[in-house]
Structure 1
Amino acid sequence: MTVHHQLDGRIFADVKSNPPKFLMLCALRHALRATEQFKSDAKGIIVCIVDKAWIWHAKAAANVLMTGGKEQSLYDDFRRPVHIIGETHRRASSKGIEDVAVFRPEHQVIYLASSLDGVRRSLQLAADVIVRIAPPTARHIIAARKLLGVQDIDFSLAESIANQPAEIVIGLAVRHSLEGLDVSTLEKPATVASINSPSLSELPGFGPARAWVNSIKRDVADWREDVIPWSDVDRGILLMGQPGTGKTLFATALANELGFDLVSTSVGAWQGSRNGYLGDMLAAMSKSFADATSRRGAVLFVDELDAIGDRATMRGDHAFYEGNVIGRFLELTTYALEQPGTIVVGATNYGHLIDDAVLRSGRLEKHVYLELPADEERAEILSYHLNHSISVEDLREVTDKLRLATPADLEKLARSAKRAARIHKRQVTLSDIDAALPAKIPLPEDVVLRICVHEVGHALMAIESGTADIISVKVESHMIQGEEVQDGGRLQYKMRNEALPTEKDLLAKIRIMLGGTAAEEVVFGNRSIGAGGVEGSDLDQATRLAYRFAGSYGLGKSLRYHVGAKRIDGSFLPAVELRSEADAILAREYRATKEILSKKRVHLMQLAAELVVDRQLLIEKV
């Protein structure tokens, strides 16, 4: 017994005169058309999750879909094509809740349930496909009214009706005329994203993702107008970046920007479902995807995506578990992105730990790294969280000193400042923000001198590189109490030939990054911790570039390609030979940097002394 793609005239006449059955037949065909059971009549078990109010209409429609509307009295209970799980029949003469046995069919069989939680684990594992059946759409309602011969309605009215409970949808679908219907009296559709949360266009920051967002916004608008099919819309994106850079906020704001629901979950939540066994994990994962695809537009946000695993690194006892999890995730992602109105956003701090198949074209194909915000962005973000009560220009006085602040840090700062203003019953001022900052203490003069030497070392190596002409240097006079790693100085310059840097250019960059700590050793005979300690530090950047140089760009001892340049982040675990070669590159360039700065020691000390006095310096290439 397989899906009947065509119905004979008598059966179709019966279906079209029964609007609930027709509407659910449309919904079933729409949801199942991507499955192998529908496309190629493959044998298998299909579990369908249906809204409780529609489930009995879905059973009637499923019987038509599976039997062509013909009587199948020859089949015993174990061979019936459609079963309902956990629901009492509406008719009083019913025998009650069905007790469904799990078996491997010689044909196709559909199980209907109002919740995946109500489907026993054995059946979830046995199912060839688990599909969320969305309620009938606006187009289904328009088609039903045409077949009934009642008055035509426009798409916007049909869409408003489609968002209603089943009883209202059925009643309005058969009503002869809907002229004069007050749409405002209909129930508002429920959404998962907070109605008070902002849309992406209202938020500052997220610069690297803006172009993609603008493109998808246009595509979704065209899709809604039937200008393009859903397959022409970009639907999968991976966000990477350190904690606090706004990955979760991005997904929420994207959903609001598009007018979609947000379905938010994480791999950790799936792993923690019930007892965390493989079946529990797969069921929880399937439920999240089914929830997203059941909506008329949803952003499925999956956090901690690196925990899904990577088949290239699977070893030992966990290989079977991880292999099944990755395989199921790939299947669900592919299916979800084919469903009109479903967008999948993944987030991770460790992009290189994700299986390549997850990141390929057609799945999470767009990869965006959310950096710490730039100077202007920091002020814009803080101004936004202060409800724009202080201008961006005025806030630069504060935010230009917070180079290591994440968007989350800036939001916390705004909350503290607003709290202080409320206590004093006035508007937020710059003094409230200053008071909310961590306590600062003056730096000793010898520490200021070391910082100035450090920054001038960077600057001189930038001039020496031959690719930077103007360098701006600023240093701080205070340190944050309790912070081990301080951001004591800032160096700004722009290198030429950023488009296609050569081997010489990249090595020059490494020397610039090492110039600060090398200058300290040249002048003081020892080094401080100022070159390392945090992601984005001098040593972090130099180390990553050395790994890219040898392991990704093919500029090292061999032409072997180890890993993509973008996948070399703070948690990258290199092979032993790659680590040795990166160490050798860093050691060689550090020796060269010290040698250059030793020859320029007098000039180095002269510029450092000027910087101690003025706290800022502009150096131009002669």
Structure 2
Amino acid sequence: MRHHLDKQLFAETSTAPAKFLMLSALRAALRKTPQFRSNAKGLMICIVKPEWIWHAKAAASVLLGGGRGFYNDDFRRPVHIIDQRSRRSTAKGIEDVTVFRPEHQAIYLAPSRDAVPLALELAADVIVDIPPPTARHIVAARKVIGGEDVDMALAEAIAQQPAEVIIGLTARHSLSGLDLSSLAKTDATAPRTPTLSELPGYGPVRPWVEAIKRDVADWREDKIPWSDVDRGVALIGPPGTGKTLFATALANELGFELVATSVGEWQGSRHGHLGDMLKAMSTSFSNATSHRGAVLFVDELDAIGDRARMRSDHTFYEGNVIGRFLELTTHALDQPGTIVVGATNYGHLIDNAILRSGRLEAHVYLDLPEEEERAEILSYHFQHVLSATELREVTDNLMLATPADLERLARRAKRAARVRKGVLSLQDVKAVLPAKVPLPEEVVHRICVHEIGHALMAMSSGTAQVINIRVESHMVEGEAVQDGGRVHYKMSNRALPTEKDLLAKMRTLLGGTAAEEVVFGNRSIGAAGVEGSDLDQATRLAYRLVASYGLGKSLRYQVGADRVDDSFMPTPELRVEVDGILAREYRATKELLAKDKARLTRLAAELVVDRQMRIEKS
């Protein structure tokens, strides 16, 4: 392998920008191999983006043989190209790529790892990913071809373009006055997708995004290796909170390609057999790692499986899927410029090995947007024709609205303005809001009693300092974008809660329905009936106490706290113990509220009038 080119060969190579650029890229990628360092013989496989592969062949010929085509057979030719067609089998069932043990150095160029036959992959001494030419390569190429010097910022912008743009601008004599926005040919009719900086919301994920932006910028300037970049993240949150949009906007923010897929898409490939799924999964990862800068977005991550929950009849299938996903994720995150983003509505259903350090190690929880964020999101979808400030009149009443709900509301309002052939106004927004049904006063009174019950139990526990309560006079008909009331508070002692802290939280959860029974002598369905309700949370907490934390009758560990979900099957003995805990804490909650009934009824009456309240610990 040639470390230096002779004068004639250098002159020939320097007149061909594409060949020089790929020669630089090949040398940089192969520099650490024994074949480069000590000129050892061997078979090398280089994974090159399809648009660069033929230029890479010319460069590899220079690197190995001085550019002279003096080998006429497969056993002596130093450079070969494999394309996807090379995976086809001949009539005899033998793949049409010759595998041999070279007596010299040989390079096979392939557009992805999937294009490489298994026999050839196993025979290879090294397999190296060859990224496209970098900004430094562009600067060097322009120097040797005699073009005007280019500053690093412009070279970096050029390096992000398609191959034909990079080659053309590298060969151009002068780049003075070049309009960066015209570098890549884009479809003017295609809608422009935003960057994360342009999007409102995403409060919990902003610190991670800012950190990775700095890391990627430093990596591009060769200040840090790719291994120092935080490059694996799991997005966890309910449907409609913008997980898919986040991945797209992140790619745009970083100037990376987006490769979007889902576990469902892998499972549905061809016949859905194990081999089909593994092939589809491998292809997605190969597509991502073939770019110099890509965000691989994997939706429905929980469907990949969890070895702790495997059923015996699916163990072989699920075990192979998880094992291959772990292998591909580890490999992808090691490839410079590859970021993997997984998204799920059910973080507790994901195998722990996927979420460990070194894989999808950053865990970001996307919840419903807060009051200011709701208004900003809606204003964004209106292109800020209506400001966030004026939209608060509407969005403050949509406490359960997801970003997807707000986008849908914006589409309806813009359609309403078009129908009346007028300029979008706040009245258009109000006109398309879901119908609101006034709540009877007795229902409002019950809701207020319920919320005050929560608040008093939280305050009596000593773990809450400030409590904010809000109730509504109307309910939204037919759509879950509003609830009757809500209590906001923060509990102390969250780092290492004691048994007392956990039981106090349980009593707070049970305080709403207990207050109803104390005041009205009966209970409503407002504390149960759906996942995430008061009773659901209290029941899960009780199971964690006895089955996970060892705080029940027996000092035991049966299941991880994050595994107490719909798939958890408790023993009859465990059910009896949990029923006893819930009954005991409910009785204690009722007794405490009954003793404080006068305060309970007074505060509930005030809340009926004011519809909101703030209680501070004295």
TM-score normalised by the shorter chain: which range applies?
0.7 to 0.9
- Alpha-carbon offset, residue 396 of structure 1: 3.4
- Residue equivalent to 1:92: none
Q: In the alignment, what sits opposite 2:588?
A: 592
- Indicate which of 278, 281, 285 corresponds to 1:282: 278
* Amino acid in structure 1 at the alignment position of 2:83: I
Q: Letter of the 1:396 partner, please give it.
A: R
Cα distance between partner residues in 1 of 2:36 and 2:314: 34
Letter of the 2:50 partner, please give it: D
- Whole-Å separation in 1 of the counterparts to 2:116 and 2:493: 61
Q: CA deviation at 1:574?
A: 6.0
Query: Secondary structure at the residue paired with 1:82?
Result: strand
Partner residue, 2:50: 51
| Partner Cα separation in structure 1 for residue 582 and residue 8 of structure 2 | 78
Question: 1:355 maps to which residue?
Answer: 351
Structure 1 residues 550, 87: closer, same or farther in 2, change over 3 A? closer
- Secondary structure of the 2:417 match is helix
Are positions 1:265 and 2:258 aligned together? no
346-355 or 601-610: which moved more?
Answer: 601-610
Q: Any idea what SS the aligned residue of 1:597 has?
A: helix
Give the aligned partner of residue 440 of structure 2. 444
CA contact (8 A) 2:397 2:482 kept: no
Contact 2:45 2:110 (8 Å CA) reproduced: no
Aligned to 1:531: 527
Cα deviation for residue 258 of structure 1 reads 2.2
Amino acid at match of 1:542: A
The whole-number CA distance in structure 1 between the counterparts of 2:326 and 2:65 is 32
Sort the Cα spacing of 1:208 and 1:580 in 2 relative to 1 into closer, same or farther, 3 A: farther
CA contact (8 A) 2:49 2:111 kept: yes
Give TM-score scaled by structure 2 length: 0.82
1:528 counterpart SS class: coil
Tell me: CA distance 1:100–1:408, structure 2 relative to 1, closer, same or farther (3 Å): same
Aligned to 2:138: 141
Distance 1:472 1:185 in 2: 49
TM-score (ref. length: structure 1): 0.81
Offset of 1:411 from its aligned partner? Answer: 1.7
- For residue 387 of structure 1, what is the amino acid of its counterpart? Q
Which AA in structure 2 matches 1:48? Answer: I
* Structure 1 match to 2:399: 403
Please state whether the residue corresponding to 2:184 is helix, strand or coil: coil
Does residue 302 (structure 1) correspond to residue 298 (structure 2)? The answer is: yes
SS in 1 for 2:210: helix
* Aligned twin of 1:507: 503
Q: Sort the Cα spacing of 1:85 and 1:237 in 2 relative to 1 into closer, same or farther, 3 A.
A: closer
8 Å CA contact 1:15, 1:21 repeated in 2 = no
Give 1:245 deviation, angstroms: 0.9
What's the offset of the Cα at 1:519? Answer: 1.9
Alpha-carbon offset, residue 250 of structure 1: 1.3
Count of matched residue pairs = 603
Give the drift of 1:189: 6.4
Does the CA contact (< 8 Å) of 2:227 and 2:334 recur in 1?
Answer: yes
Query: Deviations 1:523-546 (Å, cap 9, x if unpaired)?
Result: 344322211234443223334444
Task: State the Cα distance separating 1:297 from its structure 2 match.
Answer: 2.3
Q: Shift of residue 39 of structure 1? A: 11
* Residue 573 of structure 1: aligned partner: 568
Q: Secondary structure at the match of 1:604?
A: helix
User: Which deviates the most, 160-169 or 407-416?
Assistant: 160-169
CA distance in 1, matches of 2:395, 2:297: 30
Read off the aligned partner of 2:228 and give its amino acid letter: D
Shift of 1:365: 0.8
Provide structure 2 residue ranges, at least 5 long, that are not aligned to the other structure. Answer: 87-93
Distance 1:462 1:356, change over 3 A: closer
Cα distance, 1:501 vs structure 2: 3.8
CA distance in 2, matches of 1:185, 1:463: 58
* Higher alpha-carbon deviation: 508-517 or 275-284: 275-284
What residue number does 2:483 align with?
487
**Matched residue, 2:89:** none
Tell me by how many angstroms 1:102 deviates.
5.8
The secondary structure found in structure 1 opposite 2:323 is helix
Q: 1:501 to 1:229 in 2, by over 3 A?
A: same
The amino acid that maps onto 1:141 is I
SS in 1 for 2:586: helix
Q: CA deviation at 1:111?
A: 4.9
Instruction: Output the amino acid matched with 1:294.
Output: S
- Whether 1:237 and 2:213 are equivalent positions in the alignment is no
SS at 2:464 equivalent: coil
**Is the aligned partner of 1:419 residue 2:419?**
no
CA displacement at 1:370 relative to structure 2 = 0.9
2:383 is aligned, of 362, 370, 387, to: 387
CA contact (8 A) 2:448 2:604 kept: yes
Gap change, CA 1:552 and 1:71, over 3 Å in 2: farther
Equivalent residues of 2:448, 2:607 under 8 A apart: yes
Q: SS where residue 469 of structure 2 aligns?
A: strand
Indicate yes or no: 2:5 matched with 1:7: no
In structure 1, distance between residues paired with 2:20 and 2:75: 25
Residues 42-441 of structure 1 correspond to what in structure 2 (within 5 A)?
46=45, 48=47, 50-52=49-51, 54-62=52-60, 82-85=80-83, 100-101=95-96, 111-113=108-110, 119=115, 133-145=130-142, 152-163=149-160, 166=163, 169-170=166-167, 173=170, 177-178=173-174, 180=176, 182=178, 187-188=183-184, 196-441=192-437
Mapped partners of 2:239, 2:181: distance in 1: 44
**Displacement, 1:238?**
0.5
Alpha-carbon offset, residue 142 of structure 1: 3.4
Percent identity between matched residues is: 65
CA deviation after TM superposition for structure 1 residue 361, in Å: 1.5
User: Secondary structure of 1:450's match?
Assistant: helix
Distance 1:168 1:499, change over 3 A: closer
Aligned AA (1:573): F
Does the 8 Å CA contact 2:233/2:342 hold for their aligned counterparts? yes
Report the equivalent of 1:519.
Answer: 515
CA distance in 2, matches of 1:168, 1:418: 39
Instruction: Give the aligned partner of residue 474 of structure 1.
Output: 470
Root-mean-square deviation (CA, aligned residues, Å) is 4.3
Question: 567-576 or 466-475: which moved more?
Answer: 567-576
Question: Are the equivalent residues in 2 in contact too, given 1:125–1:279 (CA < 8 A)?
Answer: no
474-483 or 127-136, larger mean C-alpha shift: 127-136
Is contact 1:43–1:105 with CA below 8 Å preserved after alignment? no
For residues 344 and 352 of structure 1, what CA distance do their matches in structure 2 show?
A: 19
* Cα distance in 1 for residues equivalent to 2:444 and 2:469: 13
Tell me if the contact between 2:157 and 2:180 (Cα under 8 Å) persists in the aligned partners: no
Check the 8 A contact 2:61/2:79 in 1, yes or no.
Answer: yes
CA distance in 2, matches of 1:327, 1:16: 50
Q: Distance in 1 between matches of 2:497 and 2:146?
A: 68
Of 139-148 and 501-510, more deviation after overlay is shown by: 139-148
Q: CA deviation at 1:240?
A: 0.3
Is contact 2:447-2:471 (8 Å) kept?
yes
Aligned-pair distance for 1:486? 6.8
Deviations along 1:20-75, one digit per CA (max 9) or x if unpaired, are 445334434656789999999999894735425x3333334456777898999697
Change (3 A) 1:598 1:114: same
How far residue 596 of structure 1 moved from its aligned partner, in angstroms, is 2.0
Alpha-carbon distance, 1:182 to partner? 4.0
Secondary structure, aligned partner of 1:299 = strand
- Partners of 1:595 and 1:34 in 2: CA distance: 74
Q: Structure 1 residues 621, 307: closer, same or farther in 2, change over 3 A? A: closer
**In the TM superposition, what whole-angstrom CA distance separates every residue of 1:67-116 from its partner, at most 9, and x where no partner exists?**
8989996975699873433689xxxxxxxxxx953677657986545578
Provide Cα deviations, 1:117-162, integer angstroms capped at 9, x if missing partner. Answer: 9x49878998989876543333333344556677654334434554
